[in-house]
Structure 1
Amino acid sequence: MTDVVISTQEGAVGILTLNRPEVLNAWNSPMRQRLIEKLIQFSDDDSIRAIVLTGAGDRAFCAGQDLNETKSFDAERAKSWVEEWKTLYNALRSSPKPIIAALNGVAAGSAFQVALLCDFRIGHAGVRMGQPEINSGIASTTGPWIMREHLGLARTIDLTLSGRLMNADECVQIGIINKIVEPEQVMPETLALANMLAEKPPVAMRLDRQRFKEMTEAGFEDCLAAGTRIQAEAYASGEPQRMMELFLSRRTKSS
């Protein structure tokens, strides 16, 4: 059986690859759970001093939530879904190791959020990033908190309500992609950065990341509490389920 998250190690760098390329590495519950396990494993491994997160294939880092999963949710399942994201985001935020996103393609919705929770992002000119959840009827809760921390309220409102994707140039201009390279150089450049970070004193690295977590913890807890309430209300209304079915049917007709 193919592993939905592939883990490898190169020297002091652990590499995690989201591996559902047939659906642009879109999230489902098994992939979230597997990524959590691997992040904790790498975080606890003293031989690993930096972590790289990327996606399989050459089209997407991750397209966000797999709508084939969420289209059947009810209010109670929506609440447990939020808890899954809390666990994953906690694993990213709590790791003592620096985390770098190697952006090999689109990073949309929750994948955009995961990329922003990494410490650095390396990409190429074809990368697109944004928060298109509204287009499929998903209310954004964790996304606005993460975006506001990085981008400010005005741009957060723009991206949340329009659902547009930013191109790589805009992402560089606003500081959320650290470096643009040729597509074939994304992983080599990311590994070079990871190796540089791996040489930093590990206690100082752990304490710096710990402090970033402490500084943002109140907002994180607030957005998760809001997420539980808002997603339950949204799914109880039936609108997300209807919009996702419509979105998927349009995509099937156009393919």
Structure 2
Amino acid sequence: MTETVLLERRDEIAVLTLNRPEKLNAWTHAMRERLIGLLREADRDPGCRGVVLTGAGRAFCAGQDLEETAAIDPGDHAAAEAWIDDFDRLFRTVRELRKPTVAAVNGVVAGSGFQYALLADLRIGHAGVTMGQPEVASGIPSITGIWAMWEILGRAKTTELVLTARLVDAEEAQRLGLLTRLVPEDEVLDAAVAQARAIAELPPGAVALTKARLRELDDDALAEAVIAAKKIHADAYATGEPQREMARFLSGKRR
């Protein structure tokens, strides 16, 4: 069976690759569990001094696999809450890494995949990248997405992106601070590894403590967003709207 997340070591840098290219690396529960385990191993490994996050094929991550969430029963609030808990654990695991974390961003970066990319310390992409938060188009309220974008974009641009479901191109993403810099497509991964290595060469204690302080600045906001997401997603799934919209999308029907 093909692993949904791959681990490659480039000397002291761990490269973690989401590996469902035929599904644009869309998330499943099993995929998140494996990634959490690999991230924790990398953080514990004294031989690992930095982490690079990327995706196989033509996408970094297109967000949640709708085939999985479309099956949630409208009356099953516990299932909707467990889904949010999954992402809370993943997001906190990335945020709590003491080592520099760089996203090598390729192709499509959408929904919870977009949020995941924003958790990295820095993000390196190419001209073909498209990024955004199109969840409302699938009937899914964007709640943790608001949290992920707020400090980078502010109220006006966050509101625009979560309500219009618009994806931004690479040039706009860099201008907005969603991407740190752009390089040629075939250089993205190498540039991300080099960036992680450059930070890893700095005093590790100072890097870890600085990362911890950055995390403290919006940790309470994340906790609040997760509480809100559990309630709001449970309410949304209880209406059946997300399931209907996801089923429509999966069938290829237009609105």
**TM-score by structure 1 length?**
0.96
Separation of aligned partners in 2, 1:40 and 1:153: 33
Query: Which amino acid letter does the alignment assign opposite residue 244 of structure 1?
Result: M
1:29 is matched with which residue? 29
1:19 is matched with which residue? 19
Matched residue SS, 2:3: coil
Once the two structures are superposed, the pairs formed by residues 198-217 of structure 1 within 5 Å of their partners are 198-217=200-219
2:40 is matched with which residue? 40
Separation of aligned partners in 2, 1:170 and 1:164: 12
Once the two structures are superposed, the pairs formed by residues 121-200 of structure 1 within 5 Å of their partners are 121-200=123-202
Q: Does 1:8 align with 2:8?
A: yes
Query: Which amino acid letter does the alignment assign opposite residue 210 of structure 1?
Result: A
Once the two structures are superposed, the pairs formed by residues 39-78 of structure 1 within 5 Å of their partners are 39-57=39-57, 59-74=58-73, 75-78=77-80
Query: Which amino acid letter does the alignment assign opposite residue 226 of structure 1?
Result: A
Separation of aligned partners in 2, 1:246 and 1:128: 23
Matched residue SS, 2:202: coil
Matched residue SS, 1:14: strand
The partner residue of 1:81 within 83, 92, 104 is 83
1:46-69 deviation digits (Å, cap 9, x = unpaired):
111110000011x10011110000
1:28-52 deviation digits (Å, cap 9, x = unpaired):
1011111111111101111111100
Separation of aligned partners in 1, 2:107 and 2:190: 16
1:71-95 deviation digits (Å, cap 9, x = unpaired):
0113221100000011001101111
RMSD (CA atoms): 1.0
Separation of aligned partners in 1, 2:161 and 2:209: 32
Matched residue SS, 2:252: helix
Unaligned runs of 5+ in 1: none
Separation of aligned partners in 2, 1:176 and 1:23: 23
What's the CA shift for 1:217? 1.0
Matched residue SS, 1:118: coil
Once the two structures are superposed, the pairs formed by residues 236-247 of structure 1 within 5 Å of their partners are 236-247=238-249
Q: Which runs of 4+ in 1 moved over 2 A?
A: none
Unaligned runs of 5+ in 2: none
Query: Which amino acid letter does the alignment assign opposite residue 4 of structure 1?
Result: T
Query: Which amino acid letter does the alignment assign opposite residue 56 of structure 2?
Result: A
1:177-223 deviation digits (Å, cap 9, x = unpaired):
11111110111111111110111111111111111111111101100
**TM-score by structure 2 length?**
0.96
Separation of aligned partners in 2, 1:37 and 1:149: 28
The partner residue of 1:102 within 80, 104, 107 is 104
Separation of aligned partners in 1, 2:82 and 2:40: 20
Matched residue SS, 2:168: strand
Separation of aligned partners in 2, 1:114 and 1:248: 23
Matched residue SS, 1:126: coil
What's the CA shift for 1:229? 0.5
Separation of aligned partners in 2, 1:149 and 1:28: 27
Separation of aligned partners in 2, 1:151 and 1:112: 14
Separation of aligned partners in 2, 1:243 and 1:10: 42
Separation of aligned partners in 2, 1:175 and 1:231: 28
Query: Which amino acid letter does the alignment assign opposite residue 14 of structure 1?
Result: A
